[in-house]
Amino acid sequence: MKNRTVELIATPPEPRYVGDAFRVHNFIPSLYRLDMDRMTPFVLLDYASKFYFSPTDTPRGVAPHPHKGFETVTIAYKGKVAHHDSHGGGGVIGEGDVQWMTAASGILHKEFHESEWSKQGGAFQMVQLWVNLPKKDKASSPKYQAIINADIPRYRLENSQSEIEIIAGEYKGITGAASTFTPIHMLNGRLMRGAKADFTFPANYNTILLVVEGNIIVNNTDNVPTDNLVLMANDGDGFQVEATTDALVLVLSGEPIDEPIAARGPFVMNTEGELKETYLEFREGKFGELV
Ligand code: MN
C-alpha cells in the first residue's frame, strides 16, 4: 500500500442560490482544479452549508426542470426536502437520508423544502452530487432510490462510538445501500473527537473529502476545518483521517469514466450533437410531464 497524499484543500466558494431553497457552494466543476475531467465520475458537487431558513408558508424550491445522462444524489444533513419526478419517483428525505435519482434517458423533477418543515423553519444543510453515467447507460430507464438512514449499513470503529455509514460501494467488507452503474464509494464518517479512520481506494479513483461538521487532520499533516473540501492526489491508495473535534466527513471515491464529456445546463452527454438532440427532445416534451 502506498500513501495517498493531499493535492488541494479548497475553502467554500461564495454561495449562490439554486431556486430560493438551496444556498450552495459549487465545488465541482467551477473552481480550483475540480473540473469534470479531473473529478469524473463526479461532474457536479453543490454543497448547501448549514444555513437557517425562517418559517414561511410560501413553498421554497426549484420548479420542474429536466435532467439527462447522469444521476443526481442528494445527501441530507439538516432539514427536509421533497422530490417528485415525471417517472413517478418521489418522496421526502430528512436528516441522514439520501435520495438517488437516475435521470439516464431523461426526466423532469422538482425539489422543494418539505412544506411542514418549511412552516417551522430551521437549519438546512445538504450535498447535491451529479454522478455521470457511461455512454452505454445514458439511454437506460430513469429510476429512483430512496435510502433512509436506518437502512444504510454501517461499520463501527474499534473502541469507539464512531461509525462509517456506507451509502454506496464498500468499506471493510460491508456493502453500501445504493446500487451504482460504475464503481463508486460514498461514505459518511461520523467520528468522535480523537477517532481515526483509514480509507483505501485504487489510486486511479478520484477521491474527495468534504468536512460537514467539525475539524479533521488528514495523514497526520493536513488540517481541514468545517465546510472545506479536500482533493486527494492519485499518487497512492490509502490515507487516514483523524477527528480533532467530533466530526462528520463525506468521503467520495469513484473510478474515472474515460469518455468525452459534453455538458450544458441540466444535461451531461458525450458529444455536442447529443446535447443538441437532448434540447430538442426536451422542447418536444419527450421527458414526460410534471406540474
Ligand atoms: Mn435537479
pLDDT of residue 288: 87
CA distance linking residue 196 with residue 171, whole number of Å: 14
Give CA–CA dist 215/242, Å, rounded.
9
Give the chain's length.
291
Q: Is the pLDDT of residue 1 over 90?
A: no
Cα 192 to Cα 33: distance, rounded to the nearest angstrom: 31
Q: What is the mean pLDDT of residues 179-207?
A: 98
Cα 111 to ligand 1 centroid, rounded to whole Å: 7
Distance CA 277, CA 9 (A): 38
pLDDT at 67: 97
Ligand 1 centroid – CA 37 distance (Å): 21
Average pLDDT in the 35-53 region? 97
pLDDT band at 291 (very low <50, low <70, confident <90, very high): confident
Q: What is the DSSP letter of 3?
A: B
Q: Mean pLDDT, to the nearest integer, of 276-280?
A: 97
Is pTM beyond 0.85? Reply is yes
- In this prediction, residue 160 carries a pLDDT of 79
**CA 54 – CA 71 distance, rounded (Å):** 30
- Quote the ligand 1 centre to 64 CA distance (angstroms): 8
Cα 16 versus chain centre, distance? 17
Which set of grid coordinates corresponds to residue 72? 443526481
Between the CA of 69 and the centroid of ligand 1 the distance, in Å, is 12
pLDDT tens column, 220-244: 999 999 999 999 999 999 999 999 9
Tell me what the mean pLDDT of segment 23-40 comes to: 91
Statement: residue 190 has pLDDT above 80: yes
Residues 238-256, mean pLDDT to the nearest whole number: 98
What separation in Å is there between the alpha carbon of 154 and the centre of ligand 1? 28
* Cα-to-centroid distance, 65 and ligand 1 (Å): 6
Q: Is the pLDDT of residue 31 over 90?
A: no
Taking the centre of ligand 1 as the mean of its atom positions, its distance from the CA of residue 272, in whole angstroms, is 21
CA of 241 to the centre of ligand 1 (A): 32
Among left, alpha and beta (phi > 0; psi -120 to 50; other), residue 190 is beta
- Which pLDDT tens digit goes with each residue over 74-130? 999 999 999 999 999 899 999 999 999 999 999 999 999 999 999 999 999 999 999
Q: What is the 8-class DSSP label of residue 12?
A: P
- Measured in Å, residue 245 CA sits from the centre of ligand 1 at 34
CA 210 → CA 170, 218, 291, distances in Å? 18, 12, 34
Give domain 6-272's CATH superfamily: Jelly Rolls (2.60.120.10)
C-alpha cell at 244: 480533532
Residues 109/27, Cβ–Cβ less than 8 Å = no
Residue 121 alpha carbon to ligand 1 centre in Å: 22
Which three cell numbers mark 73? 444524489
> For 234-258, what is the mean pLDDT?
98
Ordered by start, the domain boundaries in the chain are 6-272
pLDDT at 158: 82
Distance 63 CA to ligand 1 centre (A): 9
Neighbours of 280 (CB within 10 A): 10
Judge whether 15 and 24 are in contact, CB under 8 Å: yes
- Cell triple for 58: 410560501
